[in-house]
Amino acid sequence: MKTYKKKNLPLAEIRRHLEPGPIVLVTSSWKQQTNIMTMGWHTVMEFTPSLVGCVIASGNHSFEMIRKSGECVINIPTVELVDQIVGIGNCSGAEVDKFDRFGLTAAKAEKVSAPLITECFANLECCLFDKSLVGKYNYFIFEVVKAHVATTPKYPATVHYTGDGVFKVSDSTISRRSKFLPQNL
């Protein structure tokens, strides 16, 4: 599988990759176990601190691992990993070692115990910032504390889930930079 040379991205700039709404792979670690889940319900909430809100359904094996550890890594895969994305979302970490099953490589994170997925083009290390809506909506607000992002391509082709087994693919870009007010860039 493709690998990437990565560098630290300033935390206020991670919206470049999350705001477009790609499906992501969330890794967690708790009591010597690791897991991966597929997640589509997330949004950027603030630049600084760098906040991301997301829904992690309580039925997921990852739910308690993330709630108890207060940490995770949001890994952003490209379209080349679509079969891993689907496979990971259709089995349970209670029964399967997903790194092993799907041929993915766990790398050590710098600030959290959850692992990075080497084959993803971006890895965002996250700490739980606000759990006030976890009970009511399974809604976690994380602070991104470290961002490892591939240096190229600048805009990788990502997949965006629509339900029903179908993904949209975003593999082109349009710039309208010249039409923006400077303060809005």
Least distance from a copy of itself to the Cβ atom of residue 32, Å: 28
Return the number of the residue (48 or 90) whose C-beta is nearest a copy of itself: 90
**Closest distance between a copy of itself and the C-beta of residue 17, in Å?**
8
Extract the runs of DSSP E, i.e. beta strands, from 15-58. 24-30, 33-39, 42-46, 51-55
Helix (H, G, I), strand (E, B) or coil at 18: helix
For a copy of itself, which is the closer residue by CB, 79 or 127? 79
Query: Which secondary structure element, helix H or strand E, spans residue 64, and what is its range?
Result: helix 61-69
* Between 32 and 172, CB nearer to a copy of itself: 172
Residue 52 or 112 having the CB closest to a copy of itself = 52
Q: Is the dihedral of CA 133, 76, 85, 92 positive or negative?
A: negative
Q: Closest distance between a copy of itself and the C-beta of residue 160, in Å?
A: 4
In the complex, least distance from residue 141 CB atom to a copy of itself, rounded to whole angstroms: 8
Q: How far is the CB of 26 from a copy of itself (least distance, A)?
A: 14
Of 98, 104, 125, nearest to 114 by C-alpha is 125
Q: Which residues bind a copy of itself (CB under 8 A)?
A: 13, 15-17, 19-22, 40-46, 51, 53-55, 79, 82-83, 86-87, 89-90, 132-133, 137, 139, 141, 155, 158-181, 184-185
Bridge partners (DSSP) listed for residue 143: 51, 127
- With 0-12 / 13-18 / 19 or more C-beta atoms within 10 angstroms meaning exposed / middle / buried, residue 65 is buried
* Cβ proximity to a copy of itself, 67 vs 79, nearer residue: 79
Q: Containing H/E element for 146? A: strand 139-150
